Amino acid sequence: MQYTSIPYVAKPVSRLVLGAAGARFANGGDVSDLMETALDCGINAVDTARVYGESEAAIGRWLQKSGRRDEIVLISKGCHPNLAFLPRVNEQAAADDLERSLELLGTDHIDVYLLHRDQESVPVGRIVDFLNRFHEEGKIGAFGGSNWTARRVAEANEYAEKHGLTGFTVSSPHYSLGRQKHDPWGNGCRTVTGTKNADQRQYYHETGIPVLAWSSLCNGVFSGKLKSDSWAQLQKLFGINARWAYGCPDNRERLAHCERLVREKDTGVAQLVLAWLLGDEMNVLPIISASSPARIRDTAAAANLTLTPEERAYLNLQREL
C-alpha cells in the first residue's frame, strides 16, 4: 500500500480510502469483514458522512467491538443540504452534525472533517473560524471541503494565514480518468476533471493539498462490469445519476483504451484506473467502494501497479501506443 501524510493527522494515511456510502454500510449491518479486510490490505482510511444512512453507526459498532480505533483514519462530513436541497453551511448545523457523528462513531475526535458542500453566500472567514474552534477543542484534526472549488479553498487558506488560523489541508472533489459531464446529484457536486478544470488541478498540484477523489471509478462505469463493446448495457447496469454524469462517448473510448491495456498488463479495469489516479501529479487519494472482502483485495492491488507516461497518456486519449 502507498501512504501519504495529511497535516494534523497523526498517522500515515493510505492513498486508497475505503468509501462507506454503499449499501453494506448505509444499511447499518455488520461491516466487520470489510473493515478487517481493508486493514489487512493496508487501507487504514475510511470515508463516511452524516447523510450516508447508518454508515457512521455501522463503523462505530465495529470500532467498539474491534478496539482498533487507533489504527483507523476516520473521515466524515457534515453540512449537507437538507431534504429540500436548501444549503445549511453554518456553525450550528456543523456543530449539530459533528456531535451526532462523534456519538455514532463512538469516538471523541474525527481525524479528517469535511463540509459536504459549500455555500458561497457565506463569507469564507466565518466558516474557517468555526472549523478552527472545533479543531482547537480537539473534536477534529484536519479539515477541508467536499465539493468546494479550488478558488474557495484558496480563499479559505488566505483568510486563515492572514488571521493566524489553521486552514484547509484536504479537499474532496470528484476526480477520475473518466469525465464527469454533469453533476450526478444536482446539488452542488464539483469535479476537477476535463480541460476546463485544469486550473483547479494545477492549484492542487502546486499546493500539494491531498485530493480525496470521490466516485474514483465514475460510480462503477470503470469498475470492469461494463464493456465498451456493449455500452448499451449502461442503461441496464446503472441508475440515472451515473448515466447522466458519466455515460458519454469519450468515457466509452477511455474504457476501450483501458480494456486494451488490461490485456497487456494482466490486470483489471478498476486497478488500471486507480493506478492512473495514484500516479497523478496531484496527491490523489481515490475513494473506493466495495461490497465484499474479495473486491477490496482485488482493488487494493492497484497500489502495486505502475503506469508509464505513455500508458497514462493513452488511457487519457492523449496519444496512441
Whole-model pTM above 0.75?
Answer: yes
Task: Classify strands 170-172 and 110-115 as parallel, antiparallel or unpaired.
Answer: unpaired
User: To 10 degrees, the CA torsion angle through 140, 142, 147, 149?
Assistant: 130
Q: Taking Cα atoms as reference points, which of 81, 239, 250 lies closest to residue 181? A: 250
Q: Cell numbers 447496469 correspond to what residue?
A: 237
C-alpha 276/C-alpha 191 separation (Å) is 17
Q: Facing residues of 18 across strands?
A: 46, 288
Summarize the confidence of residues 21-31 as an average pLDDT.
92
Task: Classify strands 3-4 and 13-14 as parallel, antiparallel or unpaired.
Answer: antiparallel
What pLDDT sits at residue 318? Answer: 82
| Contact (Cβ atoms closer than 8 angstroms) between residue 88 and residue 49 | no
Q: Largest alpha-carbon pair distance within the chain?
A: 56
Q: Taking Cα atoms as reference points, which of 66, 53, 62, 70 lies closest to residue 31? A: 62
What pLDDT sits at residue 233? Answer: 81
What pLDDT sits at residue 42? Answer: 96
Q: Name the residue with higher pLDDT: 311 or 83.
A: 311
Extents of the domains making up the chain? 3-223+270-305
Residue 110: all three cell numbers together: 474525527
C-alpha 90/C-alpha 109 separation (Å) is 20
Q: How crowded is the C-beta side of 207, counted as CA atoms within 13 Å?
A: 22
Mean of per-residue pLDDT scores for the chain: 93
**Start-to-end CA span in the chain (Å):** 28
Q: 309: which residues sit within 8 A by CB, 6+ positions away?
A: none
What is 3-223+270-305's CATH number, 3.40.50.620, 3.30.360.10, 3.20.20.100, 3.40.710.10? 3.20.20.100
What pLDDT sits at residue 321? Answer: 61
pLDDT in tens, 221-277: 998 888 888 888 888 888 888 888 888 999 999 999 999 999 888 899 999 999 999
Q: Taking Cα atoms as reference points, which of 133, 134, 68, 150 lies closest to residue 101? A: 134
Summarize the confidence of residues 141-162 as an average pLDDT.
97
Is the per-residue pLDDT at 85 higher than 90? no
Summarize the confidence of residues 184-205 as an average pLDDT.
91
Q: Taking Cα atoms as reference points, which of 264, 254, 244 lies closest to residue 308? A: 264
What pLDDT sits at residue 2? Answer: 92
Q: 165: which residues sit within 8 A by CB, 6+ positions away?
A: 128, 129, 132, 159
Residues listed for the chain: 321
Is the per-residue pLDDT at 220 higher than 70? yes
